[in-house]
Amino acid sequence: MTRRFLITGASKGIGRVLAQRVADAGHLPIGLARTAPADFPGEFHEVDVFDRAATADVLGKVGDVDGVVNNVGFARMAPVGEIDLDDLLWTLDGNVRVAVQVTQAALPAMRAAGWGRIVNITSLVTLGTPNRSSYAAAKAAMDALTKVWAGELAGSGITVNSVAPGPIETEMFRRNTPAGSPQEAKFFERIPVGRIGRPAEVAAAVSFLLSEDGGFTTGQVIRVDGGGSLAQSQRR
The CATH number of whichever domain residue 164 belongs to comes to 3.40.50.720
The number of distinct structural domains making up the chain is: 1
Mean pLDDT of 85-94: 97
- Per the model's pLDDT, the better-predicted residue between 30 and 131 turns out to be 30
Each residue's pLDDT tens digit, 133-153: 999 999 999 999 999 999 999
Q: Is residue 59 part of a domain?
A: yes
43-46 and 158-165: which strand pairing?
unpaired
Task: Give the pLDDT score at 231.
Answer: 67
Q: Is residue 236 part of a domain?
A: no
Each residue's pLDDT tens digit, 178-191: 777 877 777 777 88
Residue 14, Cβ density class (10 Å: 0-12 exposed, 13-18 middle, ≥19 buried) = buried
Q: Is residue 235 part of a domain?
A: no
Alpha carbon distances (Å) from 172 to 1, 65, 176, 215: 34, 27, 7, 31
Which letter, b or e, does each residue of 217-229 get, where b requires 16 or more Cβ atoms within 10 Å of its Cβ? ebbebbbbbbebb
Task: Give the pLDDT score at 182.
Answer: 78
Q: Is residue 142 part of a domain?
A: yes
Rounded Cα–Cα distance for residues 69 and 5 (Å): 7
Can you give the pTM of this predicted structure? 0.94
Q: Would you say residue 172 has pLDDT above 80? A: no
- Which residues neighbour 125 within 8 Å (Cβ) at sequence distance 6 or greater? 132, 135, 136, 139
Q: Is residue 54 part of a domain?
A: yes
Q: Is residue 178 part of a domain?
A: yes
Q: Is residue 160 part of a domain?
A: yes
Among the residue ranges 95-104, 154-163, 172-181, 205-214, the one predicted with the least confidence is 172-181
- Per the model's pLDDT, the better-predicted residue between 55 and 232 turns out to be 55
Instruction: Identify the active-site residue in 5, 40, 74, 135.
Output: 135
Which residue range is the domain that position 107 belongs to? 4-230
Q: How confident is the model at residue 232 (pLDDT cuts 50, 70, 90)?
A: low
41 classed as catalytic: no
Q: Is residue 199 part of a domain?
A: yes
Check: CB of residue 88 under 8 Å from CB of residue 60: no
